[in-house]
Homo-oligomer: A and B are copies of this chain.
Amino acid sequence: MQNSSDRPLILITNDDGYQAKGINELAVCLRDLGDLVVFAPDGARSGMGSAITSLIPIKYKLIKQEPGLTIYSCTGTPVDCVKLALNEVLDRQPDLLVSGINHGGNMAICVNYSGTMGAAEEGCIFDIPSIGVSLLDHHADADFTECCRLGRLLARRVLREGLPHGTFLNLNVPKLPHVKGIKVCRQADGRWVREYKRSENASGESVFWLTGDFESAKPIHPENDMLALDCGYASLVPCKVDVTDYDFMNTLREWQL
């Protein structure tokens, strides 16, 4: 792909597929900030986390090309999309990666299972300032107006300031017509409970559908992202690629294994 513009290059991806409303609204609202390349899965890839496709090959297809906006679809996961775009398709390093807007929240430990955030983390591994944006509304026709406003605000700022090596951002926006503002937060601690609904398939076998409720760990930290969202704020959590528990290294050394 040729892209000789002096404007910033912005790579956009998601886990709901290139046809989802969220990614298309995102592209519209970022349009004037740079040249956009949308490189996204060809269908829904929710819950893929940082999964990669290693046992079969992947491919991609040009969907649309017009000045300032190129759209590709890809058969892979969100992380595959980022890898393939950067390795094989783009002719220069993007100045920004935005993943989303996800139809549904990715706060607390959801960052772990989220394809949206997997893609943002992958951009970060490639040293691209990277942001995941999610709206707490699963509906296909959700209203992204307020989320676009805040996502655009953050994208502009990150384009200007950059992000530290190894750090990417997780923005979650509540389903409200007017959000109170953006709160910088930590990832909420907790876990999902009652995670399966049992039903029967046509052969009479038990099958299990993923569902569940999030249960916060106590005590609830006042800076956690779940709480900010509950109070009507958008939550912004800076996340690290490096998951090393530095505090526990010394204890482990004392085990003298």
What residues of chain A have their CB less than 8 Å away from a CB belonging to chain B?
A: 44, 46-55, 57-60, 77, 79-80, 83-84, 87-88, 109, 111-113, 118, 121, 125-127, 153-154, 157, 161, 163-167, 169, 181-182, 184, 186-187, 189, 191-192, 194-196, 198-199, 201, 205-210, 217, 236-246, 248-249, 252-253, 255, 257
Contacts and interface: CB of A to CB of B under 8 A. Distances in A.
Given A242-B187, A244-B186, A245-B167, A57 B195 contact: no
B87 A195 contact: yes
B58 A47 contact: no
B47 A182 contact: no
The 9 A-B pairs of least Cβ separation, nearest first, read: A57-B207, A49-B50, A238-B245, A51-B51, A238-B248, A47-B52, A182-B257, A49-B49, A47-B54
Contacts of A44: 55
Copies of the chain in the assembly: 2
A151 to B, nearest CB: 11
A52 B55 contact: no
15 contacts: A49-B118, A50-B50, A52-B210, A57-B207, A57-B209, A59-B205, A80-B210, A83-B192, A83-B195, A167-B245, A167-B248, A186-B246, A237-B244, A238-B249, A239-B245
